[in-house]
Every structure is written in C-alpha cells, then in structure tokens.
A and B are shown apart, each in its own frame.
Chain A
Amino acid sequence: MLLNGKAFKFGNDINTDYIISGKYKFKTLDMKELARHVMEDLDPHFYEKISEGDMIVAGSNFGCGSSREQAPLAIIYAGVGCVLASSFARIFYRNAINTGLPVIECDTSKIEEGDLLQVNLEKGIVLNKSKNREIPITPLPQVMLKILSDGGLIKHFQKYGDFKFD
C-alpha cells in the first residue's frame, strides 16, 4: 500500500475528544456529519483545509481516552489517508486497524506542517518528499496489512466470514 499526502501537524496526547468532541459523538451515528467536526477544537478549519489522502502527524499517545470507534471513523470519513505518530494509545490503535485507518508509528519530530509524504506500508518507509529524507517505520505485520487492505475488519468479515490471512 502506497499512500501520498500532505502533513498536518499536531502535538502529544491528542485524545479522542479532540479528534471528535463528545458533544457531536453522542448526537449522531452519521459519520459524514461527524467528519466535518474532526479536530475542530484544535483547528476549526481542519476539515476544509485537507484534501483526500492528507495525513495527520502527531507526537506521543495519539488517541488516548475513550474506546469509541467514532474517533478513527471520523478521521477516515474526513478523507485523511493515515495517521503518523510517535506512539498511539492501545485501544485507538486497534480500533484504527479494525476500521481501516492506517496508523504508523515513527519518529515524527522531523516532519513539518505541509511536508509532502509518501508512506510505503509493506517496506516500512516514510519518504518525506519535501525534505528528501527517509524515515524508517516498523513494517506492519501481515495480519494488519490484510485487514487494512480489505478496508477494515467489518469488510474483511463481509468478504470471508472469518479471519483469513493467506
């Protein structure tokens, strides 16, 4: 999987309430509507600024807080291609893979706002095209790659009715 997009930078400890505020989360199950408010408290114009495939780049402990799956779903429906962070909160990480959002752990300190990035999930490389620099990532295990390429665990099950990884 090769992903291309522009970097939008955020800090450490971005919790699920920053990703999608509770005041919307409980109001609707319409993910397209939720997506309009993604990251709103940190950057009120985030949704309008991004183009399909752009990337969220953050520091440590991204996605801490509640275990609700609306957080990765709102990011996906907003058109974000993947999230890069120096670390993720555990349940968010699982939920992201299961909902089909690529999550990449790497050193994000050298990436700046607006940098053009290319992520190669199989090879485990992030290419910062603006800086002409490669950042290594741990290649995603086969199981995660398969779930991601199927578009998440729900679609994986729709297709196979079970876990299937050959």
Chain B
Amino acid sequence: MGKTMAEKIFSQHSGEDARAGDLVIARLDFIMGQDGTAPLAINSFNEMGGEKVFDPSRVAFVIDHSAPSPNEGVSSLHKLMREFALKQGILLYDIGHGVCHQLIPEQGHVLPGDLVIGADSHTCTYGALNVFSTGVGSTDLAAGIISGKLWFKVPETIKFLCKGVLPPGVLSKDLILYLIGDIGADGATYLAAEYCGEAISAMDVEERFTIANMAIEMGAKAGLMEFDEKVNKWVAGRAKRPLRPVFADPDAKYVEIRQYDVSQLEPQIACPHTVDNVSPVGQVEGLPIQQAVIGTCTNGRINDLKIAARILAGKKISPGVRLIVAPSSRQVFLEAMNEGIIQILVEAGAAIVTPGCGPCVGTHNGVPSDGEVVLSTANRNFKGRMGNSRASIYLASPATVAASAVAGRIADPRPFFL
C-alpha cells in the first residue's frame, strides 16, 4: 500500500515504516516560537532541566504578536525571549522583522520534506512548501528544543482536488474560505489535508501559503501541497540545506477525496463569528464597514499588497473607513517601497503599521470600537479576536478588502479585474 505525503515525512523522520495511526518519535528539522508562546516554553525548558538547545541553528523565536511592545508586561516577556536567545545562540527575529509564518519560509529555514513544529496554530502555513508543519503547546516546544524530537500520532489524510481555473478577481483566499465553509470548522480534525489539482498548480507559491495557512481553520493538523518547479524555484537561493521533497503515492490511502471545480467560484466572505460561516460576496454586499485590514500571515505578502495597490491606485478610501496595512515582513515592506506600492497605498489613505501581526489578535494597532464592522484579510473572526467582543469581523481576500475600503461598504472586487 502506498503512502501519503504525511506518512512519507514521518517515515523519513522516525526511521520507521510510519502509517496513519502509528505513534512515532520523530526528528525535527526546525522549531519556532513567538512572543505569545515562547515565554511559557522557556519556563518549561527550565523546569525540565534543559541546559542547551539541541541545535541553535534550527530554533527561532519571533517577536511579532505585540511588536513593538504596547505595555510593560509584554516588554518583560520580550526581554525574557531576548535573553534566552542570546544565551542559547538561537535565532531571534526582533520587532519589525515581520510575522513568523512569513519570515520562517522567507529566510529559508523550512524546506520541502521537512518536519517542523511551531508554538502557534498557523504553523501549518509551511505546508505550501511540501513541509509537514504543525502547531503545538509550550511543553512540546520545550521538549523539542531540548531534544530535537517529538512524539506524533501519524494522521490520516483528506485530499482536496481542485480542478478548473479561478476566474479573474477570485483569489486563493476565496478558494480556501469556500473549502472551509463547505467542510466546516472541525471537518478535518486530527487529519492532514493535501491540497492539489490544477487550480493549486496554477497558483504561485505566495498564493498557496494563504491556503495552507488556513488548514487549521478546518481543524487539520497540517495542510500539505505538492513539490513542483515553482516551489523548487522559490526555495532555491534561500535553502541552506538539501531538499528532500516527498510525493504521495498513487495508491496512497485517504479518508476522503473531495473534488471541486473552481471555475465558477465567486469572491467569498466569512461572516461573524466563525470562519466557516461563509457566503458569496453578493450576500453581504453593501454592508457599511468602519475598518479595513490588509496584512497578517494569511494575506500580507507582496502579491497581496500589489493586488490592493492595483485597486487603490489613484483613488481615495471612503471617508469614515480606516485602512490598516501591515506588510508581512521587512523584506515585503522594502519590496513594496521599491515598487512604489507603499506610495500608492499611503496616497489612497492607508495607515501602514510595523511588519508583524498588526491588529490581527487584538493586542494593538487598531482595536475596533463597539458595534463596528471590520473587513480583514486575516484568518480568524472569532468574537473578540481583534480585542473587542462587541465588534464584528468579516474575512475576505485582499482584492475584496481594497475594493470595499474604496466603496465604504462590502463590495465585489471583480469589476476591477475586467
């Protein structure tokens, strides 16, 4: 019987013939912690009697969630991380470097065929590079950085086969929102997802990250994609280790194979207060918004900013709307400046904030007021997510958010793509 991508990666990293359901101890290629989780993991590390990190070049801390620090409490946690990083010689990406899930792949730390953990639920993002990467708690993180290993139950796999070509103005974000709405927020719990088919192959790597990023929003443990020439090109020049891509066998066993034709897909919106509460944009069109957000680990990449600039060029955002843009990394920020994208966005009325999580998790950078409606490119719209449980959050693609910021209400972006 053949193997899925997940079974192959766990076999390679455990030295066993790993099959779904098996429990294995597997070697880790890279480990990441951020400022919301690393401080607790440092405590666990000390409690466990940890002295040295197993390999400092394979561990990174990123200060991105509340960066720069908004208060003393956070500052002391940041300090704890800086001191630990300095003492252990691990990588530290301090404020301004960007969001962890953009930085870690961008800096070449995770490569096809790798097994990666991060103390952040959206660690599944790296699946777009053919990496098995998953979110863990702080004890797991501590055990990982001491030993370079972790226990795993090898998951079964569900496959999403996406055929057809996305229509103009309909983006990878619309596709993943649609899939989550279709299968539900716990539709893939315990499972690894494989996203494939010609619609995925046609996307560039940056667009694929958006899909893998939201695998957790359907409950999945990881969201894997095929290794192809585009991935190969993307990692070339960043990779500091050899690649070991894996391919699913044709006779691999799946719990389910779901087929989709994307050619009629419309722009999608996730409505409050769950990510699987998804409708086509037409159903909420016209709803006034007060805040628009372009950024986060889902959609703050250069292609996302380009799409926003294409819509906002020569226009002004509607009076009464605030547009917050958080480039996902310093590199993205610089590239957007060099290409004149930042100029366009700022002229249109955007407020640019430090590369990082931006207002995504409600610690700073744009907490909405009571009763306000926010339209965001983020991945979660739970009640209170942005720091106020009396605000409503809608999720959409960067095209929909930009078009809506101009209109002052939720708008269909497709007229901009004719």
Contact = CB atoms under 8 A, between A and B. Distances in A.
Interface string B15-53: 000000001010000000000010010001001111000
B25 A69 contact: no
Nearest to B37: A67
Interface stretch (B80-88, B145-153, B254-262): B145-153
A87 B190 CA distance: 10
* Chain B CB within 10 Å, residue with most, of A90, A99, A141, A147: A90
Nearest to B73: A26
Interface centre among A68, A91, A99, A147 (most CB of B within 10 A): A91
The binding surface of chain B is classed by DSSP as: mixed
A25 to B, nearest CB: 12
Contact of B190 (A90, A153, A158): A90
Interface in A87-134: 87, 89-91, 94-95, 98-99
B69 interface: no
Interface string A10-22: 0000000000000
Given A95-B137, A158-B48, A90 B146 contact: no
Interface string B126-164: 000000000111111011001101010100000000000
B221 interface: yes
Place the interface of chain B in its size category. Answer: 20 to 34
A140 to B, nearest CB: 9
A142 B49 CA distance: 24
A162 B186 contact: no
A89 B34 CA distance: 22
B23 A163 contact: no
B121 interface: yes
B25 A143 contact: yes
Contacts of A142: 23
Interface string B109-124: 0000000000101000
Contact of A162 (B23, B37, B119, B146): B146
Given A67-B37, A154-B47, 10 more contacts: A67-B137, A89-B189, A90-B189, A95-B137, A147-B151, A153-B139, A157-B146, A158-B48, A161-B49, A163-B149
Interface of B: 23, 25, 37, 40, 44, 47-50, 119, 121, 135-140, 142-143, 146-147, 149, 151, 153, 186, 189-190, 219, 221
20 contacts: A61-B189, A67-B135, A69-B138, A69-B139, A91-B135, A94-B140, A95-B137, A98-B139, A99-B139, A142-B23, A143-B23, A152-B139, A154-B142, A157-B50, A157-B146, A157-B147, A161-B49, A162-B149, A163-B25, A165-B25
Interface of A: 61, 64, 67-69, 87, 89-91, 94-95, 98-99, 141-144, 147, 152-154, 157-158, 161-163, 165
